[in-house]
Amino acid sequence: MRIDVLTLFPAMLDGFLSESMLGRAQEAALLEINVRNVRDWAVDKHRTTDDRPFGGGAGMVMRCEPVFAAIEAVQTPGCRRIYLPPDGAPFTAAKAEELSRQQHLVLLSGHYEGIDQRIRDTVIDEEISIGDYVLTNGTLAAAVVIDALARFIPGVLGEEKSLTHESFTRKLLDFPQYTRPAEYRGMSVPEVLLSGNHTAIEKWRTVEQERKTRQVRPDLLK
């Protein structure tokens, strides 16, 4: 799978993309990620990418020319061009899984007050928000989308089965996890986890998942 990220702040992704599972996924050619600086497509001598909003108001808006040129330079037939704004559709595990099956994604990060509406109207296929809050720019949002979808690409996680019990996979949150030592500062690991009885362990985990989901995210059970 190929992903092109269009941003004004490519350096924000340097460490993120080279570490851990994403770094290994690229080394194994499961994922190709290209980070492009939208400023490289600026058309004027000052290489500006933003201008004042028509109609007045605070802030600046990203201009059409560099963004259209950047998208047109990287897009391929059938690719999905995604803008990341706070007023997009909420990002979910189901969306991450769906995106992981695409051949090529273009992720556009905005800045300032956002981007010229004509970009959204013509060269964007989908808009995704990572939550009900406002970031200073969309680069971290692109990172969140890449990280979440990469986990669904076969081979990216060492152990495929680690996805099956995870939060949201079955509309349930995850169960509590423990590791050695079995006793730490007077706190013991639940007895059932040390029993070796796999049926009892599965049952305990399901009960814990339901308890946690009821307590923290009752909306998932509806």
Least distance between ligand SAM and beta carbon 120 (Å): 10
Q: In this structure, are strands 183-184 and 187-188 parallel, antiparallel, or unpaired?
A: antiparallel
The nearer residue to ligand SAM, 1 or 130, going by C-beta atoms, is: 130
Least distance between ligand SAM and beta carbon 59 (Å): 7
DSSP 86: T
d(CA 46, CA 207): 61
d(CA 59, CA 137): 13
The nearer residue to ligand SAM, 87 or 159, going by C-beta atoms, is: 87
Closest CA to 80 of 102, 60, 109: 102
Residue pair 67/38 in contact (Cβ under 8 Å)? The answer is yes
| Strand partners of residue 80 | 105
Residues in contact with ligand SAM by the rule CB under 6 A: 84-87, 109-111, 113-115, 129-131, 133-138, 141
Least distance between ligand SAM and beta carbon 139 (Å): 8
The nearer residue to ligand SAM, 114 or 173, going by C-beta atoms, is: 114
Here the tokens at position 57 are: 């108001």
Least distance between ligand SAM and beta carbon 84 (Å): 4
The nearer residue to ligand SAM, 25 or 145, going by C-beta atoms, is: 145
Closest CB to ligand SAM belongs to which residue?
A: 110
Closest CA to 12 of 101, 136, 128, 183: 136
The nearer residue to ligand SAM, 52 or 170, going by C-beta atoms, is: 52
Least distance between ligand SAM and beta carbon 77 (Å): 25
